[in-house]
Chain A
C-alpha cells in the first residue's frame, strides 16, 4: 500500500477533538436543565451544536486539510441552510396572526 510507508498517526489529535466534542455535548445537557427561556435555550444549544459540527467536519472528516473542498462544502451547505429560513415568519403567524402584528404581547 502506497500510504503505509511514512504514515504519521493522528490518534492524539483525534482523542483531543473527541474529548472537546464530548465536553460540548455535556454542556448542552447542562443547558437543558438550566432555568432559562426556550428561545435562549434554543440559541445556546444551536450555537454549541454548530461548534461540535465544525470540529467534526474539520478534524474527523479532515476538511481542515483541504481548504478548496472546505469552501465548496461550506458555501453550498450554508446557502441551502439559509434558503430554508424564509418560512419562519409564517410559523409565528400561526400563533399571532399577521407576522409581528402582536409581537409585543408574545
Chain B
C-alpha cells in the first residue's frame, strides 16, 4: 500500500514536516526541550538552596571518579556518532558494534555512579541528613544525580534494544540517529551537572 493510499488520497495537500525534520526526530527534539526544562528546574532549585544556605557542605575530596565518569560519558557520545556514521554508510555490523560499545560505556558510567553513591551513603549521607552540614545537600544531590542516572539507565536499555532491532531490520539508520540524539542530550546534561554539583562542592 502506498503512502498516498494510506492518506486517503490527500497526500498532495499534506503539510511538509516542520523544519524538514521527520516526525519521529521532531518528537525527540520536543522531548529534549521538555527534559531540558526538567533538569534546568532541578539545577536552578539546587542553586537557590545552595545560595540561601550558609552551611552548605563541600563533601568531595577527589575529582578522580567524576573525571573518569565525564571522560567515559563524553567518549560514549563519540562512539555513538561512529555508530550512526556506520549505519548511514550501510555497515550494519559495524553500527551495532559501536552502539553496543556506547551502551557498555553507559553501563560503566552507571556502575561508577552507583559506587560513588554507596561511598557517600557509607560516610553517613542520606536524603535528609549528612555529617557535614545542611541536610538539604543530600536531597539536592541524590535528586539531580539520580534523575541523570535514570536517564543514563534508560539510554543504555534503549541503545541495546534499538541496536538489536536495527541489526534485525526492524529499525533503520534514522531510528539509531534519534536514539543517538537522546544519548547526546544525556551527555550534555552531565556537562552542567559536573561543575555545578561536583566541582563547586569540592573541599580544598
Q: Spell out A's residues near B (CB within 8 Å).
A: 1, 3-4, 7, 9-11, 14-15, 18, 21-22, 25, 28-29, 31-33, 38, 41-42, 45-46, 48-49, 52-53, 56-57, 60-61, 66, 68-69, 72-73, 76-77, 80-81, 84-85, 87-88, 90-95
Contact = CB atoms under 8 A, between A and B. Distances in A.
Contact of B192 (A3, A29, A49): A49
Contacts of A25: 70-71, 74, 191, 194
Contact of A32 (B32, B53, B78, B199): B199
A49 B88 CA distance: 30
A53 B172 contact: no
Nearest to A59: B81
A2 B81 CA distance: 19
Contacts of B54: 95
Interface string B15-40: 00011110000000100110011001
Contact of A61 (B19, B63, B78, B181): B181
Interface in B148-194: 172-173, 181, 184-185, 187-188, 191-192, 194
Interface stretch (B6-14, B44-52, B116-124, B139-147): B44-52
